[in-house]
Structure formats: structure tokens, C-alpha cells
Amino acid sequence: MKIGELAKRSGLSAHTIRYYERIGLLPYADRDQSSQRDYDASILIWIEFLGRLRTTGMPIRDMLRYAALRERGVDTEAERRELLEQHRERVRAHVVELQACLLVLDTKIAGYAGLEQRMKDYDATLPEHRRKPAGTRAARAR
């Protein structure tokens, strides 16, 4: 498939695909008779995996290391597994941190929901039971 089709199917821009190829995240594509890149559809699986690594916050240098190990073949499986296991631990720690942040957000949102209820209760009271806002005075007769 041509680079435009790969971009469309992968969700990456053609510029990003060329960049990934240039830095070594993607293998160099075969070229057709007119020297245009011609990608095999199997590259989509690798691009999806790279996207997952990117989404989970893996630094490009680690992605490059993984890609280089992958290129070297099955003899590097233990190193690749170790790299992924280390990244998994960082992702798990980040998930715990995000869950703590989510709890704070949920608590804050619940507080605002309580404020809305308090305001409804306040608005439902009779006007004579309300205090005058601070800083206001009764009008004097002149």
C-alpha cells in the first residue's frame, strides 16, 4: 500500500510515517518501479503497537530500543520482555496516580453537586428569613 493509504488506515500522517521510518521506528519500505514507498499491510499491526506504547507514555528512546531489538530477531526476546515489563510497572504506577486524581475530581464534583442542592434549599426559603448580604445598608429617609 502507498503511504497515503497507510496514513489513512493507521491514523498517522504521511509526515509522521516518514519520520518514524527515518528514525528507525518503522522499517524502510520497499519501493515500487516509480520509487514510491510500498508498504505491506502487516505494518499496521506494528504501528498499532507503537501507538499503544506512545499512549502509555513510553519515551521514544525506549520505543527505538525495542524496535532495534525486534529487528535483531528472536535472540532478543528476553531483552524485549524486560523492557516491556519495566514499562508495565511505570504504567501501573501511573494508573494508581491517575486513580487518586480521579478520586479528587469526583470528590470536588460531588461538592459542587452539594452546593447546587444548598443553593436550591436557600432559594426555597422565604425572603424574610434571609439575611441581608454583607455591606448593604437600609435606605435612609431624607
Q: What is the pLDDT of residues 51-94, one digit of tens each?
A: 999 999 999 999 999 999 999 999 999 999 999 999 999 999 99
pLDDT score for 33: 87
Q: Is residue 7 part of a domain?
A: yes
Question: Cβ contacts of residue 71 below 8 Å, gap of 6+?
Answer: 27
Is 0.75 surpassed by the pTM of this model? no
Q: What is the mean pLDDT of residues 114-130?
A: 67
C-alpha 25/C-alpha 44 separation (Å) is: 13
Phi/psi region, residue 19 (left: phi>0; alpha: psi -120 to 50; beta: rest), is alpha
Q: Is residue 12 part of a domain?
A: yes
Phi/psi region, residue 126 (left: phi>0; alpha: psi -120 to 50; beta: rest), is beta
Q: Is residue 63 part of a domain?
A: no
**Tally of domains within the chain:** 2
Residue 126 has pLDDT above 70, yes or no: no
Q: Is residue 14 part of a domain?
A: yes
The range of the structural domain enclosing residue 39 comes to 1-55
Q: What is the mean pLDDT of residues 44-49?
A: 97
11 and 44 in a common domain: yes
Q: What is the mean pLDDT of residues 28-56?
A: 92
Paired strand residues for 31:
37
The closest alpha carbon to 85, from 112, 68, 66, belongs to 66
